[in-house]
Amino acid sequence: MGHKVAVYGASGHTGRFVLAELEKRGFEPWPFGRAQAAADDPVALDRALTGAAAVVNTAGPFAVTAAPLVAAAERAGIPYVDVAAEIEANADTFARGAAVPVVPAMAFFGGLADLLVTAAMADWPAADEAHVAYGLSGWQPTPGTLAAGAVSRDRRGGRRVRFHDGRLEYHDTPPPVLTWEFPSGPREVIGEFSMADVVTVPSHLAIPSVTSYMSVTAARGLAAAGAREEPETFEVDVVVRRGGEERRACVAGRDIYAVSAPLAVEAVQRLLTGRFRVTGVASAGAMFDAADFLQSLSDVIPATRCS
């Protein structure tokens, strides 16, 4: 394909996966980071993006890097994609807008569930509620994940967040623990374990309530924050409801960080070949044909029969 694609934060855990995926698909990866261009140095960012066809931002905290990189992409006239899982940073990007195609949260958290919910909705113009359940076997967060999470917690004063009645709400209510029937069987999950989906999904779908759930084993792993060893396996089970009707979409796979790379790079490939719907900021499900996008990644994120 030959396009040069700049990757900010290329030396990080997810960044290295993105570089490898770009190379695999015939792109020319263009790695750079804070040593070459600090996020608060627009001249250095412009220099780093000269000649690039697109930029992928894998460097959190995205509360610090997203806005400057989007601005640099606008000045360069190229698409921007990031893998942000920070709820507030993603909300900021949607509120900011852009003069070029911008896809925030194009990763395991945020982008994948948005594609699944959009595909499940199909011809429904609206739904009453969407539920996104993450059945992870564990979670060994990278240093970047921990740093980004700390920034998000600080921004909301340690409170929890949910999307209810058509808006983000910050609260101190303890999270419920319940059982979710995943395709592989029941798992204990923590309710209202909000991820970037509470921003991406309602950004374009008429769903007033979006709730995420996380397996208890994954939440414990995140809290323990030990060294990253064996990659986790995962199931993502999405349910949308309208009146008495229900639709589901389910996928499974391995390694949430590695899976973010084909999601982000597939987005870049579609942006550079004209297979997108919006010039400006849009989530994965609004920017692309959700069902077709998921099908194109069925070898790494296979659909499973929902229970």
In degrees, to the nearest 5, what angle opens at C-alpha 248 toward C-alphas 211 and 245?
90
> What token pair was written down for 90?
């993603």
Predicted model pTM: 0.95
Torsion angles phi and psi, residue 27, rounded to 5: -80, 165
Q: Give the pLDDT confidence of 164-184 residue by residue, as tens digits.
A: 999 999 999 899 999 999 999
Find out whether 267 and 135 touch, Cβ atoms under 8 Å: no
Domains, in order of start, for the chain: 4-107+259-296 (3.40.50.720), 109-257 (3.30.360.10)
- Summarised one tens digit per residue, pLDDT across range 67-97 is 999 999 999 999 999 999 999 999 999 999 9
Output the pLDDT for position 2: 65
pLDDT at residue 129 greater than cutoff 70: yes
- pLDDT, residue 142, reads 83
C-beta of residue 251 within 8 angstroms of C-beta of residue 112: yes
Q: Are 283 and 103 in contact (CB under 8 A)?
A: yes
Q: Is the pLDDT of residue 136 over 80?
A: yes
Please name every residue paired with 129 in a beta bridge, in sequence order, or none if there are none.
Answer: 241
Average pLDDT, the chain: 94
The alpha carbon torsion through 96, 99, 101, 105 (nearest 10 deg) reads: -10
User: What's the rounded Cα separation, in Å, for the pair 32 and 11?
Assistant: 8
For the purposes of burial, counting CB atoms within 10 Å of the CB of 250, is it exposed (0-12), middle (13-18) or buried (19 or more)? buried
Question: Distance (Å, rounded) from C-alpha 219 to C-alpha 189?
Answer: 9
Q: Is the distance from CB of 3 to CB of 27 less than 8 angstroms?
A: yes
Query: Would you state the pLDDT for residue 227?
Result: 60
**Model confidence over 255-275: pLDDT tens digits?**
999 999 999 999 999 999 999
Distance CA 180, CA 85 (A): 23
